[in-house]
Amino acid sequence: MRSAEVVELLGRVPVFSTLERSDLERIAQLAVPRSFAPGEVVFREGDASDTLYIVREGRARAIRSHRDGRTITLARFGPGDIFGELALFEDERRSATVEAIEPTSVVAVLGPDMRRLLSEHADISARMVIALGRRLRETNERLSRQSFQTVQSRVAVVLSQLVDQELAHGAAGDVLVTATQADLAQLAGSSRESASRFLAVLERAGVISQGRGRLIVHDAEALKQYVF
């Protein structure tokens, strides 16, 4: 993977959005390409938090397991998304397991290398603090909106976000979303039954069709009408 490609990828990551190109080039020099097969674990909950990852191609998800064997999907990651970013700051334990959903390529940056770069370049640190502050504010605003949304609206938001990810990376027309009803429910903070009822409404309206472990969205604009 060429350095210019890594720089372009880093430039799409919100946490690096305030950095200059020269800053991104410094980070790119630290990046190492890695690939994961479907179902392969990138890291497990409780592992040392020593590396951050930026998705180049493919999809991954963050999950947590309960003692009773249930697994909850916390987040999904696609091209341009970052995960494991706490490695930027300290050697904490991983709070979740991340696994590839499909063939996935990433660039990895060791936390100690990144922290050394930040200590040597105070301007990069300052710009990243600004970007992280924006990200925290956006997260707080999103959580505030969700607290006032109905289950239907929350599921519609999650599904719309997944569709937007696919459209941003070349999908056209009908959009395939590789997510189960349980995944959508967990991401939306609802029960599977409630999410399933709403998805049935969308299917009857012709907005989506459902298959095993995947959804096809036929009308992305109609879907957004359910977001309020």
Give 139's pLDDT tier (boundaries 50, 70, 90). Answer: low
Q: What are phi and psi of 48, to 5 degrees?
A: -65, 140
15 and 110: one domain? yes
H/E segment holding residue 11? helix 3-11
Q: What is the pLDDT of residue 86?
A: 79
Q: What is the pLDDT of residue 81?
A: 87
Give 228's pLDDT tier (boundaries 50, 70, 90). Answer: confident
The label of the residue with tokens 């999809």 reads: 59
Question: How big is the CA angle at 132 (ends 153 and 149), to the nearest 5 degrees?
Answer: 10
Task: Output the average pLDDT for the chain.
Answer: 84
The label of the residue with tokens 């097969």 reads: 37
Alpha carbon 217 to chain centroid, angstroms: 20
Reading the block at residue 108, the tokens are: 């990895």
Residue 121 and residue 38 in contact, taking contact as beta carbons nearer than 8 Å: no
DSSP state of 34: E
Q: Which of 112, 145, 178 is a domain's end point? A: 145
164 and 128: one domain? no
Q: Which of 92-96, 114-118, 130-134 has the lowest mean pLDDT?
A: 130-134
CATH number for position 29: 2.60.120.10
Q: Please say if the pLDDT value at position 70 is more than 70.
A: no
For 145-190, the pLDDT digits (tens) are 656 678 888 888 888 888 887 777 666 778 888 888 888 888 887 8
Alpha carbon 34 to chain centroid, angstroms: 17
Instruction: Round the CA-based radius of gyration of the chain to a whole number and report it.
Output: 19
Antiparallel, parallel or unpaired: β 97-100 and 104-110: unpaired
20 and 125: one domain? yes
Q: Which of 110, 145, 180 is a domain's end point? A: 145
Q: What type of residue sits at position 211? A: G
Alpha helices in 43-176 (DSSP H): 111-120, 122-147, 151-168
C-alpha to C-alpha distance for 26 and 40, rounded to whole angstroms: 30
Q: Please say if the pLDDT value at position 104 is more than 90.
A: yes
Q: Please say if the pLDDT value at position 88 is more than 80.
A: no
C-alpha to C-alpha distance for 97 and 74, rounded to whole angstroms: 10
Q: What is the pLDDT of residue 129?
A: 77
Mean pLDDT of 69-97: 82
- The closest alpha carbon to 12, from 80, 111, 84, belongs to 80
Residue 212's domain comprises: 149-224
Reading the block at residue 48, the tokens are: 């040392």
Cβ-in-10-Å burial (0-12, 13-18, 19+) of 100 comes to buried
54 and 101: one domain? yes
CATH number for position 190: 1.10.10.10
Alpha carbon 20 to chain centroid, angstroms: 23
Residues above pLDDT 70, as percent of the chain: 90
Q: What is the pLDDT of residue 25?
A: 92
Q: Please say if the pLDDT value at position 57 is more than 70.
A: yes
Predicted TM-score of the model (pTM) = 0.70
C-alpha to C-alpha distance for 93 and 80, rounded to whole angstroms: 24
135 and 191: one domain? no
- The closest alpha carbon to 62, from 102, 97, 103, belongs to 97
Give 84's pLDDT tier (boundaries 50, 70, 90). Answer: confident
